[in-house]
Amino acid sequence: MKLRDFFMTAAMAVTMSTMTTTALAATAMRCAHQLPPQHPVSRVIERWAAEVEKRSDNEIDVQLFPADSLVGANEAIIAVAKGDIECAFSAPFAWGRTLPIMGVSMEPFAFSDMNIWRHWAGSEAAVFLEDRLRQKGVENVAWIFQTRDSVFSANGRFLTKPEDFKGLKYRGLMPAFNASLEALGASPVSTPGSEVYEALATGVIDGAMAGVDSAVSRKYYEVQDHFTIMPVVSIYFHGYTNPRFYAGLSDQAREALKQAGLAAAAWAVEVAEAGADEYPQALVGKGAAVYHLTEAEGDVLQALMYPAFLKAFTVPEDDLRQLHALIDKLRSAQ
């Protein structure tokens, strides 16, 4: 009996030691983003985090910090590159002049073909941008599409033609897109997503462009009453890590990040397509007036916005030509 008790005690000690070692081996990955928890992209990021942990056998402990609760949207890129945090998700316009080519999908009315986004993850176009991101000190691990439909909000009227924008203080995003707003006669005021509601409520800006889902989740309908929906830009969030952190992971953990990223890209497109009708209806349900821009009206806006965007889009011509060619392949991808 004593011998049996000895072996049982020894086995329990080994088990406890193994559990402790496994717990200690878990690598924390603090991951910041600007979206509120109820935002559909935020929920995709939550699924991505769970998938990373599962596929890595919990080697990676993903710790999410939504709504700018760890670092602000404008500081996330630097924080990850410096290693102050391990991971973040950012919108393309967050790169501004640091890596302007990330904002290619902000070219007015140019990237509304959903086939691009269904086939984006793992594509040559995505790899092209991942290489540029690596050169700027971050390792990309996920592409999460948000929307190809944007709302232009205002009070008292729909924004459907250039003269409707004249004199408006309008939410700006990145320098090139701000130039396209100026071409319509608006005055851009660059405003992070988390600050738009207050800026609208206090009159700092007169209106804002955002994804239709963002207009719902951030409750723009409480401070704006007219929403014009148009396929003016395509918006995505991309997840990236600190390269030293990434290099220190096991092969299994890096593969987990890759596979979870591919899965999340597919989920995001499904969510976006399902929400294409849901979110405009949600705005109407909240008492907002909603209008879908016609193709002819969009052509008039694009004629002013697109040339102004390209003139201010400080990207080497060869890089832009190459990326456009890679993106064009996705339009006809099967």
Contacts of 153 (CB under 8 A, 6+ apart): 200, 207, 208, 209, 210, 215, 220, 224, 226, 227, 228
Asked if 223 and 41 count as a contact pair (C-beta separation under 8 A), the reply is no
Tokens of 330: 């996705």
Q: How far apart are CA 79 and CA 290, in angstroms?
A: 39
CA distances 125 to 46, 105, 131, 143, 309, Å, are: 26, 12, 10, 12, 21
What pLDDT is stored for residue 24 in this prediction?
47
CA distance 97 to 328: 24
| Domain assignments of the chain as residue spans, ordered by start | 18-146+235-274, 150-233+276-331
Cα separation, 249 vs 87, in Å, equals 13
Q: How far apart are CA 198 and CA 201, in angstroms?
A: 5
pLDDT of residue 334: 77
pLDDT in tens, 27-73: 999 999 999 999 999 999 999 999 999 999 999 999 999 999 999 99
Q: Is residue 256 scored above 50 in pLDDT?
A: yes
Between CA 42 and CA 151 the distance in angstroms is 19
As given in the structure block, the two tokens for residue 226 are 């007219």
Same fold, 18-146+235-274 and 150-233+276-331: yes
The two tokens of residue 12 are: 């329990």
Q: Is the dihedral of CA 155, 282, 215, 212 positive or negative?
A: negative
291-294 long-range contacts, CB within 8 A, separation 24+? 291/158, 291/160, 291/226, 291/227, 291/228, 291/229, 292/228, 292/229, 292/230, 293/160, 293/228, 293/229, 293/230
User: pLDDT tens for residues 190-239?
Assistant: 898 889 999 999 999 999 999 999 999 999 999 999 999 999 999 999 99
What CATH class has 18-146+235-274?
alpha beta
Q: What is the pLDDT of residue 170?
A: 98
Instruction: Give the position of tokens 């092209």.
Output: 128
Output Rg (C-alpha) for the chain, integer angstroms: 22
Taking the C-alpha atoms of residue 292 and residue 288, their distance in angstroms, rounded to an integer, is 13
What phi and psi values does residue 143 have, to the nearest 5 degrees? -120, 115
CA nearest to 246, candidates 83, 37, 125, 123: 83
Over the stretch 133-173, which tens digit does the pLDDT of each residue have?
Answer: 999 999 999 999 999 999 999 999 999 999 999 999 999 99
Q: Are 69 and 282 in contact (CB under 8 A)?
A: no
Q: Which two tokens stand for residue 333?
A: 């991808």
Give yes or no for residue 8 having a pLDDT over 60.
Answer: no
Is the full-model pTM beyond 0.75? yes
Q: pLDDT for 82-113, tens place per residue?
A: 999 999 999 999 999 999 999 999 999 999 99
pLDDT confidence bin for 25, thresholds 50/70/90: low
Residues β-bridged to residue 34: none
Give yes or no for residue 318 having a pLDDT over 90: yes
Q: How many CB atoms lie within 10 A of CB 288?
A: 20
User: Which CATH fold would you assign to the domain 150-233+276-331?
Assistant: D-Maltodextrin-Binding Protein; domain 2 (3.40.190)
> Residue 1 above 70 pLDDT?
no
